[in-house]
Amino acid sequence: MSVDGNPVKRPRPSPLPLPELTGPDESYSSDSSASSAASIATVRPLSGEQPAPDSHWTRFFDQELYHDQVLENGDHARYHVYITLPSNLSKGPLFICHHGAGASGLSFAVFAQEVRQLLPEAGILSLDARGHGDSTVIGASGAPIVDFSLETLVADVISMIRLTAKSLSWPTIPPTILIGHSLGGAVMTTLATDPHYKIFGNNLVGYSVLDVVEGSAIEALTHMRRLLTSRPQSFDSVDAGIKWHISSRTLRDARSAAASVPSLLRPTSERATADPDLSDNARVTWRTDLSSTAPWWEGWFTGLSKKFLIGHGAKLLILAGTDRLDKELMIGQMQGKFQLVVIPEAGHFVQEDVPARTAELLVEFWRRNDRGAMVLPPKVSDLLKMGKKV
């Protein structure tokens, strides 16, 4: 069993022990931090080792990184990310992905695999938000910090990007496409606006929002508590949790469910967490208490349409079904300010339900907006053949 209590049924390689934090490193602090952090990594198993299950994270990413950071208020953050590096850091692309509320970085696992099949040189950085997956923020008392404000989540993403760049010795952040699903769409859209986008220098190519529109999202908040109370509070096993996600149509792709659902669950028994022999049949519950995020729900989405339209870089909005665009977005679409794609066969988790289609759209989006692609003028002989005057 890994040190964080994930079920052994789909084990993660155990991270190295938590390093001692020896104090601030002002040379690479983020706006929200007063200290630096050590980064520890787990990498894809060597070829001679026992192969991982098809749903294991190493099937989709090359490394997982843990970044430790002491924040300005003294809280201790341990950020967790999955990454596959682009083959050329100066050319990219690097797709940086942020999941929705209650999900994890493995929400983009199969999507990442599909992207690499279409564009082998691409890199993917998928983040666990605080309180999700393996990212935690602990206060001085040892209790988890409950702060899911949009401002805090954006500061966390900036820290994760900067710490990843530092730990991998990047001279600059590669040409980047930001991708955010639901809550992640609000986070990434905010990251693309002043002053946050400046962390990318000139390398923010564009951003894509998956299945969230301001008006519809705010309207849906009134139903969220009812939906939370209607779902199971625990499952007999991880496999039972996966089956529920499929049978309830929460997720519509079995590969995606097998890859992402285990990271959403934890054993309910402390004994099961400590004893690997018990964890195969351990009852599991949700890793993230979504109800604790309720005070910030409206703040996530208020003003999203305006920010989406004024953010820096190209813009792509992917929706499942025929969600309503509010007035600002309708005007923006008519003015050609962003690309809109509707995928009616997908549910809310677009990147998990139709990962191949989502990957196609994002790779096409990158190719269309890649400023590094050299476009040569037509040859004179070709112009003459077309009857053009030269």
- DSSP-assigned states of every residue in 138-167: E-TTSPBP----HHHHHHHHHHHHHHHHHH
Torsion angle, CA of 381/386/387/390, rounded to 10 degrees? -40
Residue 67 annotated among the catalytic residues of the structure:
no
Burial code of 62-84, b = ≥16 C-beta within 10 A, e = fewer? bbbbbbbbbbeeebbbbbbbbbb
Which member of 182, 256, 260, 263 is catalytic? Answer: 182
Hey, what are 34's tokens? 């007063």
> How deeply is 156 buried, as exposed, middle or buried, from its count of CB atoms within 10 A (0-12, 13-18, 19+)?
buried
Residues contacting residue 127 through CB under 8 Å, at least 6 positions apart: 79, 81, 96, 97, 98, 99, 105, 135, 157, 160
Q: Find, among 341, 334, 331, the residue nearest to 305 by Cα.
A: 331
Tokens matching residue 371: 């400023």
> Quick check: 1 pLDDT over 70?
no
In the block, tokens 């910090």 appear at 145
pLDDT digits (tens, 9 = 90+) for 7-45: 333 344 333 333 333 333 333 333 444 455 556 777 665
Contact between 204 and 197 under an 8 Å Cβ cutoff? The reply is: yes
Domains of the chain (ranges, CATH numbers) = 57-218+254-262+301-373 (3.40.50.1820)
CA distance 321 to 343: 6
User: Which residue of the set 156, 211, 253, 353 is catalytic?
Assistant: 211
**Which element (helix H / strand E) includes 358?**
helix 355-369
When pLDDT is cut at 50, 70 and 90, the band that residue 363 belongs to is very high
What pLDDT is recorded for position 227?
A: 86
Query: Band of the pLDDT at 252, cuts 50, 70, 90?
Result: very high
pLDDT, mean of residues 164-185: 96
182 catalytic per annotation:
yes
Is 223 considered catalytic here?
Answer: no
Active-site residue among 36, 98, 348, 353? 348
